[in-house]
Structure 1
Amino acid sequence: MKSVDPHSKVLHLPAGYFGMVLGIIGMGFAWRYASTIWPVPKMIGDGLVMLAITVWALLTLAFLLRVVRFPHSVLAEMRHPIASSFVSLFPATTMLVAIGVTPWCRSLAVGLFSAGVATQLCYAAWQSAGLWRGQHPNEATTPGLYLPTVANNFISAMACGALGYTDAGLVFLGAGVLSWLSLEPVILQRLRSAGELPAPLRTSLGIQLAPALVACSAWFAVNGGQVDVFAKMLFGYGLLQLLFMLRLMPWFLKQPFNASYWSFSFGISALATTGLHLGHARPDGFFHTLALPLFIFTNAIIALLIIRTVHLLLCGKLLTRVERHTLLSNKDSQ
């Protein structure tokens, strides 16, 4: 009988797993805001933020260890036409953690923000500008392309707002909005006319929910939380995307639950926060009526994602091990 080397397999944690941090910390921000307008304990929001920071710290440690021990696997992920976009979740979540710790330790928040924003700008310049050379395959044009230049710039704007860097935040917001507007027609054209997405990639459409709602959160962060026409318009487009996601849910659910379902989470959590902002601006009216039902809905979705993910973890299907030589090879990513 052939003996099995216990050290021949290593833990495989792709950068896409950072998507779990987006939804958890986003929901934490929503609960923090809720505690300022409703009689709910602030500790719920802080607890979710701390949970997200814990997940981020563990994933960051695993990612950095992979950079040191298996640099070729990280390079392969960075060069992959689809997976490369998800690598940008590392600086994105770093900046969200900076926002999360701002009330507790500003100096730590500034340090994390500085590292995150520098990394996201360098990676966007390398990855997104690299696509301009005309070699990006059409089938790899998915909503994941929003992450490096749209999501990261909106999150940079949110972090600038939290730290008081308003002018810089407006610069990042502008970069994010125009990047979003330039990418969306191309992505939607591919989704409509270039053939059905393979089943494993379908849940990446959950990212489509995020740009308008995260842009709305970023706008609130840099304008002092003022509800205006622009914020309402962004929220309206976000609600339309939510309707589209609900329409496509049976199609999504043909894919068994896995960590990729967290792609819906950042848009969902941003829906809660922006809905509360808009609803609190007036004690009656359309947005006030929507705020509580949307908050309950988003909490239910994030709770379901957490429960299903814990179930995957307990069943040994979340943290998988692959052969060492698989991580050392970039054959599948070329």
Structure 2
Amino acid sequence: MQTMAAVQKERSIGSIQFLPVNLFASVMGISGLSMAWHEASILFGTSAVIADIIGIVAVVIFIALSIGYISKWVLYPQKVKAEFAHPIMGNFFGTITIAILLLSSVIGSYSETAGQVIWIIGTVLTLALSFVFVSRLLNGKQEPGNVVPAWLVPVVGTIDIAVAGGTMPFPWAHEINLLSLAIGGFVALAFFTMILSRLIHHAPLPPGLTPSMIILIAPFEVGFLGYTNVEQRIDPFASILFYFGLFLFIVLFFKVFKKSIPFSASWWAVGFPIAALSNAAIKYALFVDSWLLTAISAIILALLSIVLAVLFIRTLKILFNGKLLNG
């Protein structure tokens, strides 16, 4: 039986059984922010300590969420099974594997060996998860209402293999990176077309899923980062990926960031796509050496930092007032 103290605690902040898997998107966004500030130290001359502190925060949050979700898995396995099988929420399990890949870059700046081990783990898990979800979709009979931007999460995750592992020293790493770009690029292109068609021809997304529309920029900006990491150069194709993602972000920004959309954990879906855009903008500004692109990259980095700070504070607020884990 639960003790009175445990009951009171559950009533005050909720139950671990309601911990949403999409909270791992917070690790993705914060890791991406750390990587962006690291690149900013090259472009703007900012202190590398900023990136280090943000990276530590990302690691701590990942550990805390991992402990929480493993506890949920042990105590409430049916809840985890139902979440994984859900046609929409199940896609957010990809946030776990992508978070591992991104943390390999964050941790790799301190220990190359640790970063490489984490990247291998993340690569295996990401490829396995993408196989599972693509296979599941090919079973057919998918409801049009379930064709949402979250479909891109497990698939775009394969491109993150190349983002985090573009310079891995293993003799087989280059082929794995090409494999990840092939899977992520072509499947994301097909899914993007289907999602765009759903958004045009069917009812708008419900408020809870509206923030996830920003995920639509991820295939282009993550694709830019992965492609340029593998090719070790920026060519016109990479430039096209970057500019279309930037255009799409401007269009979606005014559709997503509205006061009428209530805050929930689903808002973390905006974090990593904007972080990918920020990293891509800084990398492109370093290549082109244009004051306009430098200004654009600075604005996006500032926006990303503000958005993630607000999301972090508001998430803590709903955690401690019991709204996050109350089901």
Asked if these proteins are the same fold (TM beyond 0.5), I'd say: yes
Count of aligned positions: 316
Q: Secondary structure at the match of 2:46?
A: coil
The residue matched to 1:139 in structure 2 has which SS? helix
Aligned to 1:71: 77
> C-alpha distance in 2, partners of 1:127/1:229?
32
CA deviation map 1:167-211 (0-9, x unaligned): 321221122111111111111111111212222222221211322
DSSP-derived class of the 1:276 partner: helix
Q: CA deviation at 1:5?
A: 9.1
1:51 corresponding residue in structure 2: 57
Tell me the distance in 2 between the aligned counterparts of 1:157 and 1:114.
12
- The one-letter code matched in structure 2 to 1:235 is F
Q: 1:258 aligns with which of 253, 264, 278?
A: 264
SS in 2 for 1:233: helix
SS of equivalent to 1:236: helix
1:22 is displaced (CA, Å) by 1.2
CA RMSD of aligned residues (A): 2.2
User: What is the correspondence of 1:260-279 to structure 2 with a 5 Å cutoff?
Assistant: 260-279=266-285
Correspondence for 1:211 among 212, 215, 219: 219
**d(CA) in 2 for partners of 1:321 and 1:301?**
25
Structure 2: gaps of 5 or more residues: none
Are 2:40 and 1:34 equivalent residues in the alignment? yes
Structure-2 residue corresponding to 1:188: 196
In structure 1, the partner of 2:311 is: 305
TM-score, structure 2 length as denominator? 0.89
The aligned runs of 1:74-89 (5 Å cut-off) are: 74-89=80-95
Deviation digits for residues 206-227 of structure 1 (CA, Å, limit 9, x no counterpart): 2113221111121232233x22
Aligned partners of 1:279 and 1:287 also within 8 Å: yes
Query: Structure 1 CA distance, aligned partners of 2:326 and 2:117?
Result: 33
- Please name the residue that 1:239 is paired with: 246
Question: Please, which of 161, 184, 206 is the counterpart of residue 156 of structure 1?
Answer: 161
8 Å CA contact retained: 1:25, 1:48 = yes
How far apart are residue 311 of structure 1 and its match? Answer: 3.0
CA distance in 2, matches of 1:81, 1:275: 33
* Residues 68-123 of structure 1: CA deviation (Å, up to 9, x unaligned): 22222111111111111011211111111112111212222222222222222222
Q: How does 1:310-329 map to 2 (within 5 A)?
A: 310-318=316-324, 320-321=325-326
Alpha-carbon contact 1:209-1:264 (below 8 Å) kept: no
Structure 1, unmatched stretches of 5+, are 323-334
Q: Distance in 2 between matches of 1:190 and 1:172?
A: 26
| Structure 1, 215-224 or 95-104: larger mean CA deviation | 215-224
Q: How far apart, in 2, do the equivalents of 1:207 and 1:68 lie?
A: 31
Q: In 1, distance between residues paired with 2:125 and 2:38?
A: 27
TM-score with structure 1 length normalisation?
0.87
Q: Which of these residues, 183, 186, 192, is aligned with residue 175 of structure 1? A: 183
Using a 3 Å threshold, how does the CA distance of structure 1 residues 111 and 68 change in structure 2: closer, same or farther?
farther
Q: Percent identity?
A: 24
Q: Hey, what's the Cα distance between the residues in 1 that align with 2:44 and 2:207?
A: 41
* SS at structure 1 position matched to 2:209: helix
- Aligned residues of 1:149 and 1:179 also touching (Cα < 8 A): yes
8 A Cα contact 2:214 2:256, kept in partner? no
Give yes or no for contact 2:281–2:293 (8 Å, CA) kept in 1.
yes
Aligned equivalents of 1:202, 1:297: Cα separation in 2:
19
Measure, in 1, the Cα distance between the counterparts of 2:208 and 2:304: 24
Deviations 1:118-150 (A, max 9, x none): 222222222221111112221111000001112
Partner of 1:284: 290
Question: 1:272-306 CA distances to partner (integer Å, 9 max, x unpaired)?
Answer: 11111111123336423423233223222222322
**1:256 corresponds to which letter in structure 2?**
P
Distance 1:276 1:235 in 2: 11
What is the aligned partner in structure 1 of residue 299 from structure 2?
A: 293
Structure 1 stretch displaced more, 30-39 or 308-317: 308-317
2:159 maps to a residue whose letter is F
